[in-house]
Amino acid sequence: MTTLPEGFHHLHLELARESGHPDGDSHHGYDIVAPLTLDGHLDPVAWRADPHLCHVRRFRPDRDDAVGKLARRPGGQWYIDYGPGSADDEAGFRFNDERFVPGEYVSIREDDGEFHAFKVALVRPL
Residues pairing with 20 in the sheet: none
Q: Are 77 and 43 in contact (CB under 8 A)?
A: no
| pLDDT tens-place string over residues 53-112 | 999 999 999 899 999 999 999 989 999 999 887 667 888 999 989 999 999 999 999 988
For the chain, domain boundaries: 8-108+121-125
Helix (H) or strand (E) holding 46: helix 44-49
pLDDT recorded at residue 45: 96
pTM for this model (two decimals): 0.93
